[in-house]
Amino acid sequence: MIHEPVLIPPLAASAALVHSAPSQPLAQPRSLVVGHLLGAAVGYGVLALAHSSPWAAAVAGGITLAATMAARTPHSPACATAVVVVLQTPAPGRFVPLLLGATVLLALTGFAASRVRRGAPRYPVYWW
């Protein structure tokens, strides 16, 4: 339906963090949303400079890891987002809004799930 199956692996990893380790810094909404957006930005930047190749994708993943750590938004699945951008070259006008919407929706489902399940740890520990 969304015609962007390349989003599934990084978002699946993010969902695993949000729903199974909700108190970890990697799972918090700021890290989730900003981390993926940083990953996309790095991916498009590397793509513009080095074009699509496995080496460029590896560099994009590494730069994303460093960028998310420097921005205090650690989120390891965001590295996969950068790799996906470099290897699959999705159109940014469609990919970035979809990515933003998906990460916000994921944070909201984590919030809702933590309120519905008895005894579940509260998510998020902090929003921003």
Instruction: Return d(Cα 38, Cα 34) in angstroms, integer.
Output: 6
pLDDT attached to residue 67: 98
Instruction: Return d(Cα 32, Cα 74) in angstroms, integer.
Output: 8
Model pLDDT for residues 52-89, shown as the tens digit of each residue: 999 999 999 999 999 999 999 999 999 999 999 999 99
What rounded mean pLDDT belongs to the chain?
Answer: 93
Does residue 3 carry a pLDDT above 90?
Answer: no
C-alpha 115: how far from chain center: 23
User: Which of left, alpha, beta for 124 (phi over 0: left; psi -120 to 50: alpha)?
Assistant: beta
> Which whole number is the average pLDDT over 78-101?
94
Instruction: Return d(Cα 128, Cα 34) in angstroms, integer.
Output: 10
Least confident of 1-10, 36-45, 109-118: 1-10
Instruction: Return d(Cα 102, Cα 59) in angstroms, integer.
Output: 25
This prediction has a pTM of: 0.93
Model pLDDT for residues 6-58, shown as the tens digit of each residue: 778 899 999 999 999 999 999 999 999 999 999 999 999 999 999 999 999 99
Tokens of 96: 């970035």
